[in-house]
């Protein structure tokens, strides 16, 4: 395992490209993206649908391989990682809150957090303590034993946030965390993200369509047609 440099930025993208080969030519989802996110910094990523936001987050989080460029997360250059190395990297260094499916339906709220430990180090008691603490902070202590189907949309989103924080990541990637929520709930979830990230000094990219959400970020980056504005 790589020793993460505590002074390196949380994320450094240099000239990252993503091209999807298609039957009739190719789709350029990301065009030479350069982006640096500092430790503890929250960056809002705003852009129209299909502009490449999810693509950028997936590459930064080691889910997708870039077609070119350099990706360094917390000092680890993951650009040349094999699928196996990327799996271990995702488990260790990043947290995800996805646009769609986020929770395992047959696991309770608490188990959806514990699963992070189960697929990795299996530390047992420390993981349970951490899960309970996160649920407490997220205001879900009394919902710990509920299945996702027994939770409201906002509660589910909070469980997903807790899950993303379980592995004490360097970087958390939120892909439209508020899109399924009304604006009041959306604001509450953003406040929660803000306070959790700040308290832990974890960097985050928050993807959104909603310009109002950007108020919670340190910085806003716009993307359109795969091109980032600097």
Partner 1 sequence: MFLALKEMRRAKVRFTLLMAAVGLLVFLILFQQSLQNGLITAFVGAVRNQSAPVLVYSVDGRRVIQGSVIGPELEAQVRDAVAGGRVGRIGQGTFTVTADDALSEATVLGYEEEGLGSPTTLVTGRLPQGPGEAVASAADEAAGFGVGDVVRIEPGGLEVRVVGLADDIQLNVAPTLFVAYETYLDAVRSRNPDAGTPPPNVLAVEPAPGISAGDTAALINAASDDLDALTRADAAAKTPGVAQVQQSFRVIFLLYGLVVPLVTGLFFLIVTFQKAPSLTLLRAIGAPAGRLVAALLVQVLLVVGGGLAIGIGLYAPLSVQRIGGITLRFETAAVIGWSIALLVLGTASSVVSARRVVAIDPAAALGGTGMDR
Residues in contact with ligand ATP by CB under 6 A are 20, 27, 29, 47, 49-55
DSSP assignment of the chain = -PPPPTTS-SEEEEEEEEEEEETTEEEEEEEEEEEEE-TT-EEEEE--TTSSHHHHHHHHTTSS--SEEEEEETTEE-TT--HHHHHHHHHHHEEEE-SS--S-TTS-HHHHHHHHHHTTT---HHHHHHHHHHHHHTT-GGGTT--GGGS-HHHHHHHHHHHHHTT--SEEEEESTTTTS-HHHHHHHHHHHHHHHHHHT-EEEEEES-GGGGGGSSEEEEEETTEE--
When asked if residue 100 is in the footprint of partner 1 (CB under 8 A), the reply is yes
When asked if residue 15 is in the footprint of partner 1 (CB under 8 A), the reply is no
User: Nearer Cβ to ligand ATP, position 155 or 178?
Assistant: 178
* In the complex, minimum distance from the CB of residue 102 to partner 1, in angstroms, rounded to a whole number: 7
* In the complex, minimum distance from the CB of residue 192 to Mg ion, in angstroms, rounded to a whole number: 21
User: Nearer Cβ to ligand ATP, position 59 or 131?
Assistant: 59
Task: Take residue 118 and report the two structure tokens written for it.
Answer: 């189960």
Chain Cα centroid distance, residue 188: 18
Using CB under 8 A, which of 50, 126, 153, 201 touches partner 1? 50
User: Nearer Cβ to partner 1, position 104 or 215?
Assistant: 104
Stretch near partner 1 under the rule CB under 8 A, chosen from 71-79, 95-103, 136-144, 210-218: 95-103
When asked if residue 67 is in the footprint of partner 1 (CB under 8 A), the reply is no
For residues 162 and 132, give the distance between their C-alpha atoms in angstroms, rounded to a whole number: 10
Query: What, of Mg ion, partner 1, ligand ATP, none, does residue 47 touch, CB below 5 to 8 Å by kind?
Result: ligand ATP
Query: What, of ligand ATP, partner 1, Mg ion, none, does residue 157 touch, CB below 5 to 8 Å by kind?
Result: none
* In the complex, minimum distance from the CB of residue 150 to partner 1, in angstroms, rounded to a whole number: 12
When asked if residue 135 is in the footprint of partner 1 (CB under 8 A), the reply is no
User: Nearer Cβ to partner 1, position 194 or 209?
Assistant: 209
């Amino acid at each position: 395992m790589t020793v993460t440099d505590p002074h390196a930025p949380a994320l450094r993208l240099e000239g990252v490209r993503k091209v999807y080969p298609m039957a009739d030519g190719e789709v350029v989802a990301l065009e030479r993206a350069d982006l640096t996110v500092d430790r503890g910094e929250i960056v809002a990523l705003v852009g129209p649908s299909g502009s490449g936001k999810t693509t950028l987050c997936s590459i930064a989080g080691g889910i997708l391989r870039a077609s070119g460029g350099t990706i360094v997360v917390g000092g680890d250059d993951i650009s040349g990682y094999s699928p196996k190395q990327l799996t271990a990297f995702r488990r260790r260094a990043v947290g995800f809150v996805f646009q769609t499916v986020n929770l395992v339906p047959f696991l309770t709220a608490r188990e959806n957090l514990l699963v992070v430990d189960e697929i990795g180090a299996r530390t047992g008691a420390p993981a349970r303590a951490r899960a309970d603490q996160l649920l407490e902070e997220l205001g879900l202590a009394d919902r710990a034993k509920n299945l996702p189907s027994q939770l409201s949309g906002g509660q589910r989103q909070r469980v997903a946030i807790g899950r993303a924080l379980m592995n004490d990541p360097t970087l958390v990637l939120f892909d439209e965390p508020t899109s399924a929520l009304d604006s009041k709930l959306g604001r509450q979830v953003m406040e929660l993200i803000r306070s959790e990230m700040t308290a832990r000094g974890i960097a985050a990219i928050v993807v959104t369509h909603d310009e109002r959400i950007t108020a919670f970020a340190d910085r806003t980056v716009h993307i359109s047609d795969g091109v980032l504005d600097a």
